[in-house]
Amino acid sequence: MEKQEIMQLKQLLGRFCQSGTGVIDRSVCEKAIGNFAQNRGEEKFCRLAASLLVALAKPENALPGSLKRYELLVRDGVTMFLSLLSVPRLQKALLDQALLKTDCPVAERCVNLAMHFPTLHKLGQIVARHHPGHSLLHGWLASLEDSGSKASIGAVRNHVQREWDRLGHSGHLELGTTILAEASVAAVLPFCWHQKAKNKQVDGVFKVLKPAVREMVEEELQVIGRMAKHLESNKARYGLGLMRVSGLCSELREALEKETDLVAEQKNLSEAAKLYRSLDRVSVPELTAFRSSAMTGMQRIRGRKITEVRLSPGERLHLACRLFTALVCVPLFSHEESSLFHGDPHAGNLLVVEDDKVGPIVVVIDWTLVGRLGRPLRINIAAMMLAAATGEVADLSRSISAMTRLAKSPVSPGEIKHIVASFFRSEKFCADPLQKSFRLLERLTFEGILFPGDLILFRKALFTLEGVLIDFCPSFSMEQAMKTYLGEVLIEEMPRRITNMFVPLLEKRSEYRSLLTNEEVARLSLSSSLGYQDELAAYGRWLQKTQMQFVASILPFF
């Protein structure tokens, strides 16, 4: 019965469209859909509309081959998600689907659908960035990031003007007439402010939440909570195994809540500016005084997406190394008790600007989604990478177990040792301990093991950045860049390390930015599986020679 009614709804939409080229009268079509909904009842209409939207957009087709076993989960999950939303939102999504050309690709329909719902938009980006080598997903991701604006320019301008008037700033404000960029929850509008009396002018952008987005996100997150319970009780049907769906939904909720908190982003930008002040070739947008909880005024970056610029191979390699240092090495080997990192470094958030003095620089934008790596977590990450480099399965299992305790969901080393051993056999040709470690974390996550949310976010950010840098500079090596940075850190630590050679029992990992003791550095230098071999082997030989000389010099006194 419902199949017939779904076809009736589809025919109703087609009646008001001219072969997908436009609606004869949008208001008439909306009224017709409203009458259809009223006749069937709200609950039934939402169910029919959700089924039709999923049949048109086919979101399960966006899955890469490695995730094809979850097609039923995606199809049922998206259908349930949509069926629990409000009638007006489904009406708008249906109408926009009807406006598409009848022969438009399914991927285009999928992107169009995702742009209506922040949760689907965010999930699409997460899946696409997590599989950078998948060509269909790569194109889908680009579409999600570059798709035309769905927000009303008039509504955005009015929102900014009202907030500006409320704040009572002086001077003359000119707002742009086009939206420069749009994400799942926010839009970016250019502006120019000038004050003739003081001869001041600011050319910037306002980042504002799209109209009613907080209400939309809250509605969707409530639905996600209901879906989690349904999926948890149907794990066998969807092949979820040990996966803890509630934990994944909590992670999604946290990500969306962060993206709607503009004050937090302003604080993150201020902190990131201080963090990168001493780094060359990497910066962040400067904040202006024009900001509040409703909008963020900042410097306008007139740059191009990093994957679209024309640079020499040497410039590409240098920029890739500097960017990797800023986004991975700096937070991993920080002096601070808690280090900030960017949680979403996709190509659209990495803009290259030509500086007259130093040449091309990368400006990292969109600091809504960030994470923090506390020192205890970083110590365990370093221990994990050390064990991955030396091939010590037992040590690797212990460091991973320690990280599950930080997530308050402890798993013993014995419970994961067989997974770790199996992973090592399958990844025997991967020499990079950084890649190997975080691929293992991915494998364990799919097995249902929970880790701290910031560690999961860092892993996703690392994989996202890896895909971007491979596109930008195929000759770039994360292993080589990490080796160079770690070598510089070890040299910086030399005075303290020499002092600790005399009292090795009092030595602590936390004393060093590298989070490695002298004994661990020596072990690392002996590892034949590690790319740092030449530099660290020389360092290890020096360390052993110095210790022997010290012992020989004090023996006559005993």
CATH number at residue 284: 3.30.200.20
Query: Model confidence at 543, in pLDDT bands (50, 70, 90)?
Result: low
The answer to whether residues 112 and 187 belong to one domain is no
Distance, in Å, from the CA atom of 207 to the CA atom of 370, rounded to the nearest integer, reads 17
| Residue 331 domain flag | yes
The answer to whether 255 and 287 are in contact (CB under 8 A) is: no
Determine what percent of the chain is predicted with pLDDT higher than 70.
85
Q: What is the pLDDT of residue 538?
A: 57
**Are residues 425 and 346 part of one domain?**
yes
User: What is the pLDDT confidence band of residue 14, given thresholds at 50, 70 and 90?
Assistant: confident
Q: Which residues contact 93 (CB under 8 A, 6 or more apart)?
A: 49, 53, 82, 113, 116, 117
- Per-residue model confidence (pLDDT) at position 530: 41
pLDDT at 383: 93
In a domain, 156, yes or no: yes
Please tell me whether residues 423 and 340 are part of one structural domain. yes
Question: Which has more confidence, 69 or 530?
Answer: 69
Spatial distance between the Cα atoms of 23 and 387, rounded to a whole number of angstroms: 62
Residues 391 and 535 reside in one and the same domain: no
Strands 282-283 and 359-364: parallel
> Does residue 447 lie in a domain region?
yes
Nearest-angstrom CA–CA distance, 354 and 349: 16
Q: Which residues pair with 205 in a beta bridge?
A: 190, 298
Sign of the torsion formed by the C-alpha atoms of 155, 157, 162 and 163: positive
pTM: 0.80
Can you give the pLDDT at residue 11?
84
Q: Which residues of 470-496 are buried (b: 16+ CB within 10 A; e: fewer)?
A: eebbeebbbbbbbbbbbbebbeebeee
Across the range 368-377, mean pLDDT stands at: 94
Same-domain status, 533 and 402: no
Could you give the CA distance from residue 419 to residue 250 in angstroms, rounded to a whole number? 26
- Looking at the fold, whether 270 and 362 belong to one and the same domain comes out as no
53 in a structural domain:
yes
Mean pLDDT of 221-227: 86
Residue 230 identity (one-letter amino acid): H
- Split at pLDDT 50, 70, 90, the class of 18 is low
Residue 24 pLDDT level (bands cut at 50, 70, 90): low
**pLDDT band for position 370 (50/70/90)?**
very high
Question: 288: pLDDT confidence band, cut at 50, 70 and 90?
Answer: very high
- In the predicted model, what is the mean pLDDT of residues 379-398? 91
Q: Is the pLDDT of residue 334 over 70?
A: yes
pLDDT at 558: 39
- Alpha carbon 528 to its chain centroid, in Å, reads 33
- Number of residues assigned to the chain: 558
- Paired sense of beta strands 200-209 and 350-355, if any: unpaired
Name which residue leads in pLDDT, 265 or 449.
265
Do residues 99 and 184 share a domain? no
What mean pLDDT, rounded, does the chain reach? 84
Task: Give the whole-angstrom CA distance, residue 71 versus residue 184.
Answer: 24
Residue 407: CB partners within 8 Å, gap ≥ 6? Answer: 450, 451, 452, 453, 455
The mean per-residue pLDDT over the stretch 145-169 comes to: 80
DSSP 273-287: HHHTTT-SSEE-PPE
Query: Is 235 within the bounds of a domain?
Result: no
Confidence label for 201 from pLDDT (cuts 50, 70 and 90)? confident
Percentage with pLDDT > 90 across the chain: 40
Question: Is 255 domain-assigned?
Answer: no
- Is 239 contained in some domain? no
Same domain flag for 490 and 446 = no
Nearest CA-CA partner of 288 in 274, 272, 270: 270
Q: Where are the alpha helices (DSSP H) in 359-501?
A: 375-390, 393-406, 413-426, 433-446, 453-472, 478-492, 494-500
- Specify whether 103 is located in the same domain as 200: no
Rounded to whole angstroms, how far apart are CA atoms 339 and 333? Answer: 9
Whether residues 537 and 395 fall in one domain: no
> What does the pLDDT look like over 44-76, one tens digit per residue?
999 999 999 999 888 888 777 777 888 898 899
Residue 283 has pLDDT above 90, yes or no: yes
* For residue 533, pLDDT beyond 70: no
Say whether both 371 and 458 belong to one domain.
yes
What per-residue confidence (pLDDT) applies to 531?
Answer: 44
Alpha-carbon separation of residue 363 from 279, 281, 282, 351, 399 (angstroms) = 12, 8, 6, 5, 35
Token pair listed for 372? 């923090």
Distance, in Å, from the CA atom of 293 to the CA atom of 166, rounded to the nearest integer, reads 12
214 within domain boundaries:
no
407 pLDDT band, cuts 50/70/90, is confident
State how many domains the chain has.
4
Considering only residues 227 and 145, tell me which one the structure prediction assigns the higher pLDDT: 227
Cβ(385)–Cβ(433) below 8 Å: yes
Return the minimum-mean-pLDDT range out of 150-159, 297-306, 310-319, 425-434. 425-434
What six digits make up the tokens of 12? 């109703």
CB 320 within 8 A of CB 469: yes
Report pLDDT for 416: 87
Identity of residue 68: K
Please state the φ and ψ torsions of residue 70, each to the nearest 5 degrees. -100, 15
Which pLDDT score, from 0 to 100, does residue 43 have? 92
Q: Three-state SS for 403? A: helix
Judged by average pLDDT, the poorest of 53-57, 131-135, 247-251, 344-348 is: 131-135
Question: Residue 528 — very low, low, confident or very high, per pLDDT cuts 50/70/90?
Answer: very low
Q: How far apart are CA 221 and CA 4, in angstroms?
A: 31
224 neighbors 81 (Cβ within 8 angstroms) = yes
Alpha carbons 228 and 163: distance in angstroms, whole number:
37
Q: Does residue 352 sit in helix, strand or coil?
A: strand
pLDDT bin (cut points 50, 70, 90) of residue 139 is low
Higher per-residue pLDDT: 249 or 88: 88
Picking from 300, 327, 358, the residue at the C-terminal end of a domain is 300
Closest CA to 192 of 200, 184, 182: 200
Q: Domain of 451?
A: 302-475
The pLDDT score that the predictor gives to residue 16 is 67
For the cut 70, the answer to whether the pLDDT of residue 151 exceeds it is no
Low-confidence winner among 121-130, 177-186, 203-212, 458-467 (lowest mean pLDDT): 121-130
Does residue 137 share a domain with residue 164?
A: no
Tell which of 422, 448, 475 closes a domain: 475
Nearest to 108 by CA among 132, 139, 63: 139
Q: Where residue 148 falls among pLDDT bands split at 50, 70, 90?
A: very low
**Residues 170-189 as b or e (16 or more Cβ within 10 Å = b):** eeebebbeebebbbbbbbbb
The predicted structure's pLDDT at residue 554 = 45
Q: Tell me the three state secondary structure of residue 336.
A: coil
Task: Say what the alpha-carbon torsion angle 398, 505, 491, 341 is, to the nearest 10 degrees.
Answer: 40
